[in-house]
Amino acid sequence: MILFFLLLNFLLIFQSRLSQASPRVWKRDADIESLRGLTTANGDHSGKAGDPKGKYFHESTFHPHYDGRFAETVLSDPSIRRTHLTSLAQTYLRTMREIGAETWLMHGSLLGWWWNRRIMPWDSDIDVQVSERSIAFLAEYYNMTVHHFDIPASAEGPGKEKGRNYLLEVNPYYKNGSTDDWLNVIDARWIDMETGLFIDITTLRRNRTAEEEGIYGHMMCKDKHKYRENDIFSLRDSIFEGVPVKIPYAYTKLLEEEYGADALTKTEFERHHFEMENMEWVPDTDSPE
């Protein structure tokens, strides 16, 4: 009897040892299988098949600015696309503010904010950055969370009046801050689960290569953009598309460095002109196309 228990004990211990010793295989990405019930898409258009193995985020087979797990086609009507893009920005900014993750506008979105605090009509995406602490915070507590908003779904179709869902997905490779990891320059995404539109989120990191050389106060992103810490921080509070937003400290300087002086003075761009009376970009009526 005693012998039996000893044997059982031995077996149990051995088994547990065995299971601990063998590494568990963790699934690194959320493929369409794991999103069943959350997506209305019938097939996988994620573009995963054509991407290199180490790449976490995929761009859809039909357009680089759509997530193929949630959509099958592009939004053809530019005004509908713009409404979705606006909601995307508003919901993202509201959520980040609510959970206390530090995020701010950059690139084209910052230029849009500079002119009239709106997305520029011809801009196809929204550019934001987060701090290193914020991306860790999002990864630890908010990865793969679905955020529901009671905003009217503009698209037609059944079930769309029930509001909108957005997915926050963090790239596990965010921990690798090296620019050599060029497959994973995007650290997280805020994805519209109805249309497949998304916001690319990149982390602003301390430039450790520069710090090794004894140069401090420099920042970088995995997409190789470089900034001075004092130009980004401290952030300022403003409004973008009607919701509170953070703006980098030296906003004009950053825009001038990236786009040149023209971008701040020229009132004609991409077949639009800026009307000062209503502070709006208006499409040129006599444009050929």
Residue 239 touches other proteins, criterion: CB under 8 A: yes
Q: Interface with other proteins includes 256 (CB under 8 A)?
A: yes
206 lies in the binding site for other proteins (CB under 8 A):
yes
Which pairs count as long-range contacts for 118-121, CB under 8 Å and 24+ apart, including other chains? 118/240, 118/241, 119/82, 119/85, 119/86, 119/89, 119/241, 120/269, 120/270, 120/272, 120/281, 121/78, 121/82, 121/270, 121/272, 121/281, 121/283
Residues 270-289 that bind other proteins (CB under 8 A): 274, 276, 279
Burial of 99 (C-beta count, 10 Å sphere; 0-12/13-18/19+): middle
Q: In the bound complex, what is the minimum distance in angstroms from residue 94's beta carbon to other proteins?
A: 15
Which one of 23-31, 81-89, 119-127, 131-139 is the stretch in contact with other proteins (CB under 8 A)? 131-139
Instruction: Tell me which of 213, 253, 283, 284 binds other proteins, using CB under 8 A.
Output: 253
| Residue 104 makes contact with other proteins by CB under 8 A | no
> Is 178 near other proteins (CB under 8 A)?
no
Which one of the spans 12-20, 31-39, 151-159, 254-262 is the region binding other proteins (CB under 8 A)? 254-262
Distance CA 112, CA 132 (A): 25
Contacting residue, 238, 243, 258, 271, with other proteins by CB under 8 A: 238
What does the alpha-carbon distance between residue 72 and residue 139 come to, in Å, rounded to a whole number?
28
| Residue 218 bridge partners (DSSP) | 228
Give the range of 44-52, 75-83, 125-133, 155-163 binding other proteins by CB under 8 A.
125-133
Q: If 0-12 CB within 10 Å is exposed, 13-18 middle and 19+ buried, where does residue 13 land?
A: exposed
Q: Do residues 258 and 107 make contact, with C-beta atoms less than 8 angstroms apart?
A: yes
CB 112 within 8 A of CB 122: no
Does 133 engage in binding with other proteins (CB under 8 A)? yes
136 binds other proteins (CB under 8 A): yes
| 259 makes contact with other proteins (CB under 8 A) | no
212 makes contact with other proteins (CB under 8 A): no
* 76 upstream amide cis, omega within 30 of 0: no
Q: How far apart are CA 46 and CA 169, in angstroms?
A: 14
Residue in 40, 90, 116, 154 binding other proteins, rule: CB under 8 A: 116
Phi, psi angles (nearest 5°) of residue 16: -65, -40
Residue 72, interface with other proteins (CB under 8 A)? Answer: no
Q: Candidates 91, 129, 131, 202: give the one binding other proteins (CB under 8 A).
A: 131
| Residue 232 three-state SS | helix
Which residue, among 206, 130, 208, has the nearest Cα to 170 in the 3D structure? 130
Is residue 264 a contact residue for other proteins (CB under 8 A)? Answer: yes
Query: In angstroms, what is the minimal distance from the CB of 100 to other proteins?
Result: 3
CB of 44: closest distance to other proteins in angstroms? 34
Which residues are near other proteins by CB under 8 A?
A: 99-102, 114-117, 131-133, 136-137, 206, 216-217, 229-230, 233-239, 247, 249-253, 256, 261-262, 264-267, 274, 276, 279
